[in-house]
Amino acid sequence: MALLDCENLRKSFFGVEVLHGVSFSLDRGRVLGLVGENGSGKSTTMNILGGVLRRDGGRIRLDGADYEPRGPKDALARGIAFIHQELNLFENLSIEENLFITGFPRLGAAIPFINRGRMRRRARELLEQVDIRHPPGTPVGQLSQGERQLVEIAKALSVDARVIIFDEPTTSLTRREADRLFGIIERLRGRGIAMIYISHVLGDVTRICDDITVLRDGAVVGGGPVAQMPTERMISLMVGRTLDQLFPERTATPTDTPVLEVRGVSQPGVVHEIDFTLHAGEVLGIAGLMGAGRSELARILFGLDSFKTGTIAVDGVAIEAPSPSVCMDRGMAFLTEDRRGEGLMMHATIADNIALASLDEYASPWTRFVERTRLGDEVGRIGQKVRMRAADPMATLVRHLSGGNQQKVVLAKWLLREPKVFILDEPTRGIDVGAKFEIYKIIDTLVADGAGVLMISSEMEELIGLCDRILVMNHGEIQAEFRRGDFDSGRILEAAMRRRGTEAAAAPAAAMREAV
């Protein structure tokens, strides 16, 4: 008998059914990969399991008994732990306090004080199980993202979780940290803990899961042991058609007109002698491992961070004192890798977000008031251009949108300014396959209209599928350049991991994300 058995789960929001009878089961010591596009019902299903939402129909049996959680705390008490994409940790508290925040060991039943000694001993045991070597009293704020994830797992172990749900656990991890996480998952599997693993990174799913269940539009559309579910099959089930191409046909070819010229840009400790030219109509990719200096370069180019030597020129004219506003005036646009934190006002409407970078252009020359009708029309036009799917851009809040639609909002915001140079930092991170394709199409339209796109990505296939040229960064330097036609993922990877001097090439071969 399966440990967890979900049968015919149904859920409606405001009278609209979003889960139409989802069924799956999970055995002890197995890892179930749950894949599907955003909005396919993965989160809703997991929120029901984790006690965040209540189901409208169907039944769940946990270890043979009916399972009806009244809330997250109740779910946890029954042994189901949900590790959310945004971690629930308190940076100002120590690791041990985070582990026991809702169930501190006390000095006695009637004594309200925390038993620090017992807490420390219990914390040590738990941290050992997830290979964290920091003392339990270390503030969580000092841990890396990967270590924080492991603390969350230790927290689940502290309540003897039988089922652990991971929701996109690797989005903010380096490859090495992700590998460490997978090692722990492996170990937990050996101890008989059942896990549900949600991710868009299908390479990871294939690597660590035993079984796969594919969701589409609130229903299970396929599944089975991982051996019978190659990546292509997962994708075709997810999108409901065979994707004969993951990337759109490029409609334009690069011109010889330079739009962005970077000459000898260096900043000690960050980047060294960066030299390249971006042309109108060109998509120029920057490949590299995490920490190669790609995002840092992007920030320097957009005037967010300073640099010591070198010049940056747009349209042949050097930018004297770079700052974001100067760079914007000169026709640059920058999509940050942290869409939620830096790219969007999550609690504002779609329209307000799109208008943000262009308010000056739409101010009346006399009163300096924003001309709302003119702006509104333009926002509507741009929204159509990026194929925004939202009922009412003036009323819908950005935080209610899927990752793909949020990224479209950011793109629309910049499109409104009609820039010549786009710097895109991981534009498709955490976005499902269908929405990725649409982002690619938007990028293609941008360059067809004569802009130049500098695209940073950790997904090799994406760079190879979309770019005209690829620069490889490593150690804050450009190591290699590849032109369309002789793209070779092996050689690109080799350049990305090449080490200088005495340092051994110790980076694991899986260091590059092999995602869809």
Partner 1 sequence: MNATRLRLVLLRNAPVALFIVVLAVFGSLSDRFLDAQNFTNILIQASHIAILGIGMTFVLLTAGIDLSVGAVMYLSVALLGIYLADVPPLLAVPAMMAAGALFGLVNAFFIVRLRVAAFIVTLATLFIGRGLALWVTETRMVFYKDHILSLARAEWLGVPWAIWVFAIVFAAAWLVLNHTPFGRQVYAVGENPDAAAKAGINVPLVLTAVYAVSGACAGIAGFVSITQVGAAASSFAMEKEFAAVAAAVLGGVSLFGGRGGVAGTVFGAVLIQTVQNGLVIVNADPYIYPLVTSSIIFLAVFVDSQRSRILERLGRRRIRIEERPV
Sites of contact with partner 1 (CB under 8 A): 71-73, 76, 84, 86-93, 97, 101-102, 104, 106, 112-114, 116, 268-272, 291-293, 296, 308, 475-477
Helix, strand or coil, per DSSP, at residue 465: helix
Closest approach, Cβ 71 to partner 1, in A, equals 8
Cβ closest to partner 1, residue 50 vs residue 281? 50
* Residue closer to partner 1 (CB basis): 365 or 501: 501
The whole-angstrom separation of Cα 95 and Cα 165 is 21
Q: Considering beta carbons, is residue 13 or 90 the nearer one to partner 1?
A: 90
If the CB atoms of residues 141 and 508 are measured against partner 1, the closer one turns out to be: 141
Which tokens in the block code for residue 173?
A: 């991890």
- Residue closer to partner 1 by CB (options 206, 474) is 474
Q: Which is nearer to partner 1, 308 or 374 (CB)?
A: 308
Q: What does the buried/exposed string (b/e) look like for 104-113 if buried means 16 or more CB atoms within 10 Å of the residue's CB?
A: beeeeeeeee
> Whole-angstrom Cα distance, residue 197 to residue 168?
8
- Look up residue 392 and give its two tokens: 């009412």
Burial environment of residue 59 by CB neighbours within 10 A (0 to 12, 13 to 18, 19 or more)? middle
CB of 100 to partner 1, least distance (A): 8
In whole angstroms, how close is the CB of 145 to partner 1 at the nearest point? 12
CB count within 10 Å of CB 494 equals 14
| Closer of 89 and 416 to partner 1 (Cβ) | 89
Rounded Cα–Cα distance for residues 263 and 89 (Å)? 43
Least Å distance, CB 52 to partner 1, is: 8
Q: Cite the beta strand spans of 70-204 per DSSP E.
A: 80-83, 106-108, 111-114, 163-167, 194-198
Of 64 and 268, which has the nearer Cβ to partner 1? 268
Q: How far is the CB of 155 from partner 1 (least distance, A)?
A: 9
Total number of residues shown for the chain: 516
Instruction: With CA atoms as reference, report the closest residue to 100 among 84, 111, 108, 89.
Output: 89
> What Rg, from alpha-carbon coordinates, does the chain have?
25
Given a contact cutoff of 8 angstroms between Cβ atoms, the answer to whether 300 and 265 are in contact is: yes
At its nearest, how many Å lie between partner 1 and the CB of residue 418? 33
Minimum Å gap between C-beta 497 and partner 1 is 15
Give the angle subtended at the CA of 226 by the CAs of 224 and 229, to the nearest 5°: 75
Q: Measured from the CB atom, is 270 or 388 closer to partner 1?
A: 270
Least distance (Å) between residue 312 CB and partner 1: 19
Contacts (Cβ under 8 Å, ≥6 apart) of 458: 289, 290, 426, 429, 512, 513, 515
Looking at beta carbons only, is 86 or 481 nearer to partner 1?
A: 86
Query: What is the closest distance, in whole angstroms, from the C-beta atom of residue 355 to partner 1 in the complex?
Result: 26
Smallest distance from the beta carbon of 113 to partner 1, in angstroms? 5
Report how far residue 34's alpha carbon sits from residue 296's, in angstroms, rounded to the nearest whole number: 34
Identify the burial level of 395 via C-beta atoms within 10 angstroms of its C-beta, where 0-12 means exposed, 13-18 middle and 19 or more buried: exposed
Which 8-state DSSP code applies to residue 349? B
Q: Which helix (H) or strand (E) holds 31?
A: strand 31-35
